[in-house]
Amino acid sequence: MNRTVLIVGLIIVAAIVAILFMGLGNDPAHIDSPLIGSPAPGFALKAVGSDETIDLTRYRGKPVVLNFWATWCRPCWDEHPVLTANAQMAGDRVQYLGVVFQDEESKIRSFLEQRGWAYPTLVDQAGKTAIAYGVGGVPETYFLDKNGIIVAKFAGPMSAEDIEKNLRKAMQ
Amino acid sequence: MIAFLLVLALQLKVPDAEQFVGKPQGTPLTGEQLHLRTQQVGALLRCPVCQGLSVSDSPAEMAVNMRGQVRELLSRGYTQEQILSYFERSYGQFVLLKPKFNGVAAVVWILPILAVAIGVVIVVSKAKKLEQRPTANGQQPTANDPYLARVRDMVQKP
Amino acid sequence: MTASLGRFLILASVLVSAAGAFIGFAAGQKQSPEGLKWARRFAYAFAALMLLATVVMEYALITHDFSVQYVAQVGSRDVPLWVTIVSLWSSLEGSILFWGFILGIYIAGATRLNIGKHEEYMPYAIGTWLGCGAFFAFLIAGPANPFLTVPNPPLNGPGPNPLLQNHVLMIIHPPMLYLGYVGMTIPFGFAMAALLRKRLGHSFLRPLRASLLLPWIFLTIAIMLGGWWAYEVLGWGGYWAWDPVENASLLPWLTATAALHSAVVMERRGILKGWTVTLVQASFLLTILGTFMTRSGVFNSVHSFTQSSIGPTILVFLAVTLIASVVLLALRIDSLESDGNIESAVSREGMFLVNNLIFVVLTFTVLVGTCFPLIVEAVKGKQMSVGRPYFDAMAVPMGAALLFLIGVGPALPWGRATKREMVRALVPPIGAGVVVAVIGALLGVRNPWTLVTLFFGGYAVHVTLAQMWLPLVQRMKRGGSFGEALVDAQLRRGRRRFGSYIVHAGATIVLVAIAVSSTQRTSQEMTLKRGQTAQAAGYSITFTGIEERAEPHRQSTIAHFNVTKDGKPVTTMDPRMNQYAAMREPIGTPAVHSTILSDLYISIMNIAPDQQSAGFVVINTPMVSWIWIAVLLMGLGGLVALIPHRAVVMSVVAAAPAASAGEAPAATLIRS
C-alpha cells in the first residue's frame, strides 16, 4: 500500500467532491450587491410624461423603492401591477420610483398609460445610473431607507411578499 | 423649445465616478489611443448579463453602455485602477475578470506558481533517483529505434 | 408504443451491463476463459441494446412521434430534416442516450479487436467498461429518461435550442466531442485491468496506447471544432474564452497528451508505469468531471442549455470512480514499478518528464481557475470571477514552454549525450527561430510573447523537419528515390515516429497561429448608412442594405455587404440577426471571409428601426484559419501513428529473405 498516493489522492478527491457539492446549492447567475449599507448614488433624471427633473434627494425622509425596468423586459410586465398596487396602498409613507434604461420615451409612455402609472418614472442616460447601482439585468429593485442608504436589493420580478419583506428592512 | 430642453438637460445629473473614486489621476486620452485603451480596459470587465464575456466582446446593450462609460472615463483621464475600482464598487468583484492580487483572490495566482515549484522539485528528485539506478538489462533501450541508432552511428563516424 | 419499446431496451441495457460488469470482474479474478467468453457476450449485448435504443429514438424524432417525451421536448415539424436528426444530441436526455450509444460502439470494438489477446486483462477491462456503461444506462433509465410517454401528445413541438440550429458545425462538434470523451473509458478500463492484475506487460502497452490515441484524435478535433463554432456563431470574434465548458473539454485532452508522452518513456525504459496509469485514469475521471460541469448548472457558461438536475447523480458517480481509482492505485502502484532507469536527465527522456510536468501544471491551473469562484463563494459568500485575462496570463508562458520543448525535446538524443552532440543538436535550429521571429517583426509583430513564440516556433519547425528528414536520408543512401524512401521509411515502418512529428508540426503551427491571431487582431465599431463604404483591414466594405427573410422556424434580418480590395470585387458578406420563435432575444450570426492570411469578420451590433443604417463590429484576425487546418494536421498525424504495424511485418519478413543483417533485428523488434 503506497501511503503517499493514498493520502494525496484522497485529499484531492475530498477537495474536488466538496467544492462541487457546495457549488450545487448555488445559482451561478445570482450576484450579491456590494452596495448594501452604502448611501445610494444620487441622480437627477427626467420624468416621463413631463418636463420635470426629479432628484433622488427629494425623497429623503421616507423609504424609497427604486425599481429598474424596461418595456422590452417580459418579467417586468408581470411585476408592474404588483408595484402599482403597492404604491397606491403605501400612499405617502413610501416613495416608489421607476428608472427605465435602454428604452424609448414614447414606448414607456404608452406602456404606462395602458397599464397604470402610480409613481414617477425616470429615464436613465446611457445606462449610467444603472451602472452606478450595479444593475445586472431587469427588473432589479433597490430598497432605500429614509436616510438614503441602500438596505436591500432584489433581482427579478417581485411578488407582494417580496416587496413586503424588503420594505420592512427599509422601515427599520 | 430647444433652449428650454437645453436648460433642462443642464439640470440632469447622473451618478458620476468622481464621487466614488475621486479626481482623475492619469492623463486624458484621445483618438486611436483612446480606442485601444477602451478595448483593453473593457476586456478586464465582465458583462453582467452575459455568460462570462467581457464588456469589450459582448454585443449586449448593457455592455455597450459600460463600454461607453469606460471610454468617457478614459477620455477624462481616469486610470485603469480607478475605472476598475468604480465598477467593482457597484458590481462587486464579480465584474473583474482578472482576479485581484490581494485578499482571497490572490490565492488563485499563488496556487499555480506553487504547483510549478512543487512539480519541479518532484521531477528533479525523481530524475536523479532514476539516473542513479543501475542499468537493468544493458543494451535494450537504444536498440529499440534502429534508425536513430544508425543515424547516430553515421553522424559520429568521421 | 415507441416510448415503451425504448424504455424496455434501456432497462435491458441496465441489467445487461450490470450483470456483465459483475461477470467481467469475477472472470478476471478467477482468470476463467469461460467467464471471459460470457463477459464478451454481455459486452456485445450492451452495445446492441444501446444501438437499438438510439435507432428507436431517431425513428421517433424523424416521424415526429410527440408521444415520446424527448421528441415533444425538442422535436418540431417546422425544422429541416438535418436539424431533426441532430436534435438527438441537442438536449440533456438525448445526449446521454447518445453517450450510451457511443460507449456501446467503443466497448464492442475494443472487445472485438482484442479477442484471443491479453486474456489476463480483458475480463477486468470489460468489467470496468460495463460498470461505466451501467451508470450511464441507469441515468438514461432513471433521471434523464428520454423515453417517457407524454399522455396528451401535442401536435407540434418547439424544436431544439435555436443557437444549435444556427450553424452546420452543430452536426459534427458534439459527435466528435463524444467520440473523444467517451473513448477515454476504454484506456481507463485497460489501466484498471493492469492495476488489478498487478502488472503492465510490455505487450499490453500497445492496446493501452492505441485505445488512448484514438479518442485523443477525436478530442483534439472536437476542441478545435468547438472553438471554430464559437468563432463562426457567437459573434464576438474570438474562438476561446476559457468558458467553464471549454475548459471541461480541454482538461482530459491535457492529461491524455501527457499520458501519450509518458507512455513512450514507459515503452523505452520501463519506468513511469504507475504514473502513466495515473494519467490515463485522470483522463477518464476528467471526462466525468467535465460532464458534471456542463450539465449541473453549477457553472455559468455559454453551454447553459444543457443544464439539468442530474448534477448530484453524476457527482456521486464521480466520487465513486475517484475513490476506486485512488484506492486501487495506492494498493497496486508499487507492484507496477520495474527496475528501469534513465541514463541522464538532460536527454530526450528528461524532456519527456518536463513535458509531463508542464501538462500537469496546466491541467491543475485550468481546473483551479475554473473552480475557484465556487470555493470563494462557499467559504466567503462573495462572488468573484476568474476570466480570460487570468487564464491567458497562465497559459501563454506554459504554451511557450511547450513550444520550446517541441523544439528541444526531439533535438536531444536518447540516453546520454556528449557536450558536442548536444551542441550539434541544439544550435543549428536557432537560425530558423531567428528567421521566423524577424519575419514576424518585419510584418508588424511587437508583442514580446508573440515574438518569443515565433522564435520557438521556427526552432521547433526546424527540428521537426530535420527529424522527419533523417530516416529519409538514411533510406535514400541505401538506394532508392525520395518517393520510395518516403513510403518505406516513414509510412511503412516509421509510422509512429512520422505520425508523431506530423502532430508536432501541427501543434507548432497551432501555437504560433494562436499567438499571432490573438495579438495582431484589430477590431472597429462603426455605424454605416445604406450605401456607405468603410475601410477595414485593406478591404473596402459597402453596406448595401437590409433584407428580411422568413423561414419556417425563424425570421432573419440580413445585412448585405459588398467587399472589394484595390477596386476588385472580392466577395459579398451577409451577417444576420435571427429571431427564433422560441426565444425572446435575437441571435446574431456573423459573416466571415477567410483567406489563408487572415479573416475579415463582420457582426451586426444593432439595426436602426428604419433599417437605413446599422451598427457593426468589423474584426480582422490574421492566421486564424491556420489554427483549424493545423489541428486537422494533428489529427492526421495521430491517425498515421495509430495504424498498427502487424500487417507490415508479415510482408517485410516474407518479401525480404535476402535482407541485410541490419534489417532482421528491426523486423523482430517491430513485431512486439
- pLDDT by residue (tens digit) across A110-163? 888 888 888 889 988 888 888 899 888 888 999 998 888 898 888 888 888 888
Q: DSSP string spanning C220-278?
A: HHHHHHHHHHIIIIISSS-S----HHHHHHHHHHHHHHHHHHHHHHHHHHS--HHHHHH
Q: Kindly determine whether residue A42 and residue B15, on different chains, have CB atoms separated by under 8 Å.
A: yes
Of the pLDDT bands very low, low, confident and very high (cuts 50, 70, 90), residue B63 is confident
Cα angle: C447, vertex C364, C512; to 5 degrees: 30
- The C-alpha cell that represents A119 in the structure block: 409613481
Of the pLDDT bands very low, low, confident and very high (cuts 50, 70, 90), residue B148 is low
- Does A106 reach chain C within 8 Å, measured CB to CB? no
CB-CB neighbors (< 8 A) of B87 in chain A: 131
Place of cell 464576438: C236
pLDDT of residue B22: 82
| Residue whose C-alpha is closest to residue C617's, from C577, C657, C668, C582 | C577
In angstroms, the separation between the Cα of residue B36 and the nearest Cα of chain C is: 9
Q: Kindly determine whether residue C374 and residue A22, on different chains, have CB atoms separated by under 8 Å.
A: yes
pTM for the structure as a whole? 0.90
- Does C350 reach chain B within 8 Å, measured CB to CB? yes
pLDDT of residue C648: 39
Cβ atoms of B86 and B23 within 8 Å: the answer is no
Rg, chain C, Cα only: 27
- Does A5 reach chain B within 8 Å, measured CB to CB? no
In angstroms, the separation between the Cα of residue C256 and the nearest Cα of chain A is: 19
pLDDT of residue C656: 43
- The C-alpha cell that represents C113 in the structure block: 479487436
Report CA C19 to chain centroid distance, whole Å. 32
- Segment A61-80 shows an average pLDDT of 87
- How far is it, in rounded angstroms, from Cα C335 to Cα C377? 42
- Does A102 reach chain B within 8 Å, measured CB to CB? yes
Strands A95-100 and A64-69: parallel
Rg, chain A, Cα only: 21
Greater confidence (B19 vs B66) lies with B66
In angstroms, the separation between the Cα of residue C298 and the nearest Cα of chain A is: 6
Q: DSSP string spanning C77-135?
A: TTS-HHHHHHGGGSSHHHHHHHHHHHHHHHHHHHHHHTTTS-TTTHHHHHHHHHHHHHH
**What does pLDDT average to in each consecutive run of 10 residues of chain C (672 residues)?**
91 96 94 92 96 95 92 88 88 92 96 90 95 95 91 86 74 91 96 92 89 96 93 85 93 97 89 92 96 84 66 92 94 83 84 94 96 88 90 94 93 85 88 93 90 95 90 78 76 83 95 93 88 88 90 84 88 86 71 91 86 89 94 95 64 43 41 34
Among the partner residues C267, C387, C474, nearest to B54 by beta-carbon distance: C387
Burial readout C147-185 (b: 16 or more C-beta within 10 A, e: otherwise): bbebeebeeebbbbbbbbbbeebbeebbbbbbbbbbbbb
- Does A22 reach chain C within 8 Å, measured CB to CB? yes
The share of chain A scoring above pLDDT 90, in percent, equals: 12
In angstroms, the separation between the Cα of residue A4 and the nearest Cα of chain B is: 13
Q: Kindly determine whether residue C376 and residue B46, on different chains, have CB atoms separated by under 8 Å.
A: no
CB-CB neighbors (< 8 A) of B51 in chain C: 243, 300-302, 304
pLDDT of residue C303: 66
- Segment A64-76 shows an average pLDDT of 87
- How far is it, in rounded angstroms, from Cα C144 to Cα C147? 9
- The C-alpha cell that represents C28 in the structure block: 478476471
Cα angle: C464, vertex B141, B123; to 5 degrees: 70
Neighbours of chain C (3+ CB pairs under 8 A): A, B
Residue B46 scores a pLDDT above 60: yes
Cβ atoms of C45 and C125 within 8 Å: the answer is no
| Residue whose C-alpha is closest to residue C373's, from B13, A28, B132 | A28
Cβ atoms of C47 and C107 within 8 Å: the answer is yes
In angstroms, the separation between the Cα of residue B118 and the nearest Cα of chain A is: 13
End-to-end CA distance of chain C: 53
In 3-state terms, what secondary structure has residue C164? helix
Q: Kindly determine whether residue C326 and residue A20, on different chains, have CB atoms separated by under 8 Å.
A: no
- Segment B100-125 shows an average pLDDT of 92
Of the pLDDT bands very low, low, confident and very high (cuts 50, 70, 90), residue B20 is confident
- How far is it, in rounded angstroms, from Cα A23 to Cα C437? 45
Pick among C342, C522, C645 to test the B interface (most B CBs inside 10 A): C342
